[in-house]
Amino acid sequence: MATAGIIALAIGTSGCGDSGKDKKTEPALSASNMDTTIKAGDDFYKFANGNWLKNNPIPDEYSRYGAFEVLEEENYTQLKTILAEASADKNASEGTVNQKIRDFYNSGMDTVKIDKNGISPLKAELDQIDAFATKADVQKMVILQHASGNYPLFYLFSSQDEKNSNQVIAMTYQGGLGLPDRDYYLGDDARSKEIRASYLKHMAKMFVLAGSTPEQAAKDANVVMTIETQLAKISSTRLELRDPKANYNKSDLAGLQKIAPEMDWKAYFDGIKLQATSEINVGQPKFISGMSKMINSVPVADWKIYFRWDLINSAASSLSSDFDKEHFAFYGTVLSGAKEQQPRWKRMIDQTSNSLGEAVGQLYVQKFFPPEAKKRMTELVNNLKVSLGERIQGLAWMNEATKKEAEAKLVKINVKIGYPDKWIDYGSLTIGTDSYYANKKNARQFAVNRDITKIGKPVDRSEWGMTPQTINAYYSPNMNEIVFPAAILQPPFFFMNADDAVNYGAIGMVISHEMTHGFDDQGRQYDKEGNLHDWWLADDSKNFEAKTKVLVDQYDSYVMLETLHVDGKLTLGENIADLGGMNVAYNGLQKALNGKKDKNIDGFTADQRFFLSYAQVWRANTRTEETMRRLKEDVHSPADARVNAIVYNIPAFYAAFNIQPTDKRYIAPENRADIW
Ligand SMILES: [Zn+2]
């Protein structure tokens, strides 16, 4: 599902493994991870990380294994101590957060009970679907499922009004697909065909597990495929979803009723208990309108099969191990190449962390987040804000009037570090010992109720879009804010005691990357208040587009797996943020060094350590399936491109490593990309 309004540093990591090392005793940079047989000018990513990549093959549970995943491992170890304590706490009184964490985690670990129950936790909902007879019943099912936080067909959630960022309104968003992208249904390429064939087999297997005969299961799988292919055809592409204006179509209830007349929207909003329906952003009108036509054209008997599949598929990992394993075989192995499932305790840490995110987060920061880290981060952010301001002032391609606006937006960027000031109150969430599925459903219901309640009210600016235990960071264009959860404030991103060069190359770059998102091809369309409003002179917009075109072309020609290319347009926002992030962080480092002579550490100059530290953050081994998946779905470029497609655009890099025109990746100064 789309997380509205958040632009993250990286997509979520998955999988696990054992690093077995205590990274805190390791130096911030280690020459033993490099491969100096490769020239820095030929492949800086491999030069900086070659030996690490050779010495760290991907563990079976992973589809990708790199700096993020190694840190994720440490995170699991930390969270395990929290959950071990909580799960053994027999004295936690009923209704307390400790009781909820304990019972949620324990119910998920009780595989004997889960296996014994098989598919029975879904019985009531499956019976409801069986009882369908009319088109009106199809709508009733949408309402029942959406009200419980499961989303067949489309999503509805709260969203800041793109043109009045103080106000929360409702937003509809395309959905309804079992495969992670519309293109998999429609593509003629070998990989899409292979995925479709595997998906059909997978659905059939799941239907058999749910009690169908193999013949019926195969037929039903085809019915689902037909419906989802129709939905795919009316879905926007990922590129189209990146256009804020195209996805802002504010309407009222009557307007929505006109766009999608086959749904009774009044009944829908009443059913999901949404009172304030005066303003709705219809994210993708083409989808909602096409879906409405399908409600009429698809036979009720086929809808029953579709809803049955949606329910089984979305619940699979909470059901008995036969469902869970088959679900993983498709989504983990076929789509991402992981060879084996994570141990259950790790998956249950993730699930507890999802369902009771800030409750776990509160315990996490109490135990593992040192207050000094927040102080050091605040200093870094302030220095880098000044640094970006200087870069903006120095831009030759921008008029003074636009610079002034940009500066005003920069000054207004709000900063959140570590954890929220105000925690979510889980008081109304019931978690018991009876059923893991019921616990998950209750948690989902709690989250959706919380979300729906926000609609029609002013924005609560204290809220966070990620939990403190998430290894990531984000920029929100509507909030005009940058957010750094506690978990990313650790090596190899953040070193409490390392030299400035290493920190500016890692967390300094992350901070600058997030700030630059306010000025990327999407972010620049929002003003300092977070409203979709053009504050650019026409000339400056033209210059910006010409400048970004250089970057689009560079990434379009970046080859992966011999024949595949990075999508320069899909990844543009992230690439602008990476390039701006590095330029701003480098400028920040020079200010921090304040003309002090380069101090060589372990044989490297400060500038060299800056670039090596950056490369280290992105080191990762990735399975072929996962690389293909990410090239299609991820707005972030692959790990090696995040290094190699960036550094050769930066003049200081050439000086730091004595890169020559004869080197493979040398770019002549006039062809280098330079935006922020
Ligand atoms: Zn980003």
Phi, psi of 648 (to 5 degrees): -75, 0
Write down the pLDDT at residue 23.
44
Q: Are 77 and 16 in contact (CB under 8 A)?
A: no
- Which amino acid, one-letter code, is at 458? P
pLDDT digits (tens, 9 = 90+) for 409-462: 999 999 999 999 999 999 999 999 999 999 999 999 999 999 999 999 999 999
pLDDT digits (tens, 9 = 90+) for 88-147: 989 999 999 999 999 999 999 999 999 999 999 999 999 999 998 999 999 999 999 999
Report which DSSP code applies to 330.
I
Give the distance (Å) from ligand 1 centre to CA of residue 57.
27
The CB-based long-range contact list for 125-128 (8 Å cut-off, 24+ gap) reads 125/311, 126/210, 126/308, 126/311
Residues near 522 by beta carbon (within 8 Å), at least 6 away in sequence: 7, 242, 244, 477, 573
Write down the pLDDT at residue 8.
80
- Which amino acid, one-letter code, is at 268? Y
Give the distance (Å) from ligand 1 centre to CA of residue 75.
22
Write down the pLDDT at residue 486.
97
Residues near 278 by beta carbon (within 8 Å), at least 6 away in sequence: 252, 253, 456
Give the distance (Å) from ligand 1 centre to CA of residue 183.
23
Q: Are 388 and 593 in contact (CB under 8 A)?
A: no
Rounded to whole angstroms, the Cα distance separating 512 from 528 reads 17
Residues near 280 by beta carbon (within 8 Å), at least 6 away in sequence: 169, 170, 171, 172, 250, 251, 252, 253, 255, 256
Give the distance (Å) from ligand 1 centre to CA of residue 509.
11
Give the distance (Å) from ligand 1 centre to CA of residue 485.
14
Rounded to whole angstroms, the Cα distance separating 517 from 477 reads 8
Residues near 635 by beta carbon (within 8 Å), at least 6 away in sequence: 238, 242, 570, 571, 573, 574
Q: What is the largest CA-CA distance in the chain?
A: 79
Give the distance (Å) from ligand 1 centre to CA of residue 616.
17
User: How many residues would you count in the chain?
Assistant: 676
Write down the pLDDT at residue 357.
97
Rounded to whole angstroms, the Cα distance separating 540 from 402 reads 7
Give the distance (Å) from ligand 1 centre to CA of residue 170.
25
pLDDT digits (tens, 9 = 90+) for 35-89: 999 999 999 999 999 999 999 999 999 999 999 999 999 999 999 999 999 889 8
**Rg, Å, the chain Cα set:** 25
Give the distance (Å) from ligand 1 centre to CA of residue 517.
7
Give the distance (Å) from ligand 1 centre to CA of residue 576.
9
Give the distance (Å) from ligand 1 centre to CA of residue 569.
14
Nearest to 88, CA basis, from 74, 101, 71 = 101
Give the distance (Å) from ligand 1 centre to CA of residue 464.
17
Using pLDDT thresholds of 50, 70 and 90, give the confidence band for residue 598: low
CA distances from 479 to 5, 248, 318, 416, 462 (A): 8, 17, 35, 11, 10
Give the distance (Å) from ligand 1 centre to CA of residue 572.
10
* Residue 21 pLDDT exceeds 60: no
Rounded to whole angstroms, the Cα distance separating 520 from 542 reads 14
Alpha helices in 169-284 (DSSP H): 183-186, 190-209, 214-234, 238-241, 253-259, 265-271
- Which amino acid, one-letter code, is at 40? A
Give the distance (Å) from ligand 1 centre to CA of residue 38.
29
Q: Are 29 and 613 in contact (CB under 8 A)?
A: yes
Using pLDDT thresholds of 50, 70 and 90, give the confidence band for residue 7: confident
Give the distance (Å) from ligand 1 centre to CA of residue 6.
9
Give the distance (Å) from ligand 1 centre to CA of residue 575.
8
Give the distance (Å) from ligand 1 centre to CA of residue 472.
10
Give the distance (Å) from ligand 1 centre to CA of residue 542.
23
Give the distance (Å) from ligand 1 centre to CA of residue 512.
10
565-575 mean pLDDT: 97
Give the distance (Å) from ligand 1 centre to CA of residue 10.
6
CA distances from 262 to 80, 289, 624 (A): 49, 9, 43
Give the distance (Å) from ligand 1 centre to CA of residue 108.
33
* Residue 276 pLDDT exceeds 90: no
Give the distance (Å) from ligand 1 centre to CA of residue 597.
33
- Omega before 491 within 30 of 0, i.e. cis: no
Rounded to whole angstroms, the Cα distance separating 633 from 195 reads 14
* Residue 16 pLDDT exceeds 50: no
Phi, psi of 282 (to 5 degrees): -80, 95
Q: Domain extents for the chain?
A: 119-318
Q: Are 548 and 675 in contact (CB under 8 A)?
A: yes
pLDDT digits (tens, 9 = 90+) for 464-518: 999 999 999 999 999 999 999 999 999 999 998 889 999 999 999 999 999 999 9
pLDDT digits (tens, 9 = 90+) for 186-197: 999 999 999 999
Give the distance (Å) from ligand 1 centre to CA of residue 639.
13
Give the distance (Å) from ligand 1 centre to CA of residue 605.
28
Q: Are 241 and 175 in contact (CB under 8 A)?
A: no
Give the distance (Å) from ligand 1 centre to CA of residue 636.
7
- The average confidence (pLDDT) of the chain is 95
Give the distance (Å) from ligand 1 centre to CA of residue 181.
20
CA dihedral 555, 559, 563, 566 (to 10 degrees): -30
Give the distance (Å) from ligand 1 centre to CA of residue 514.
6
Give the distance (Å) from ligand 1 centre to CA of residue 473.
8
Rounded to whole angstroms, the Cα distance separating 103 from 123 reads 23
Give the distance (Å) from ligand 1 centre to CA of residue 475.
7
Fold classified for 119-318: Neutral endopeptidase; domain 2 (1.10.1380)
Rounded to whole angstroms, the Cα distance separating 160 from 172 reads 12
Rounded to whole angstroms, the Cα distance separating 595 from 577 reads 27
Strands (E) in 459-549, as ranges, are 474-476, 481-485
Nearest to 572, CA basis, from 544, 552, 543, 547 = 552
Structural element, H or E, at residue 350: helix 344-355
What DSSP assignment string belongs to 101-139? Answer: HHHHHHHHH-HHHHHHHTTGGGHHHHHHHHT--SHHHHH
Grouping H, G, I as helix, E, B as strand and the rest as coil, residue 68 is helix
Phi, psi of 560 (to 5 degrees): -120, 150
Give the distance (Å) from ligand 1 centre to CA of residue 169.
25
CA distances from 527 to 2, 169, 523 (A): 23, 19, 8
Give the distance (Å) from ligand 1 centre to CA of residue 139.
38
Q: Are 663 and 588 in contact (CB under 8 A)?
A: no
- Tokens (6 digits) for 381: 């952010």
Write down the pLDDT at residue 17.
32
Using pLDDT thresholds of 50, 70 and 90, give the confidence band for residue 584: very high
Percent of the chain with pLDDT strictly greater than 90:
92
* Residue 658 pLDDT exceeds 60: yes
Give the distance (Å) from ligand 1 centre to CA of residue 511.
10
Using pLDDT thresholds of 50, 70 and 90, give the confidence band for residue 11: low
Write down the pLDDT at residue 405.
98
Write down the pLDDT at residue 520.
97
240-249 mean pLDDT: 97
Query: 144: exposed, middle or buried (C-beta count within 10 Å: 0-12, 13-18, 19+)?
Result: middle
Report which DSSP code applies to 477.
T
Rounded to whole angstroms, the Cα distance separating 15 from 626 reads 12
Q: Are 588 and 537 in contact (CB under 8 A)?
A: no
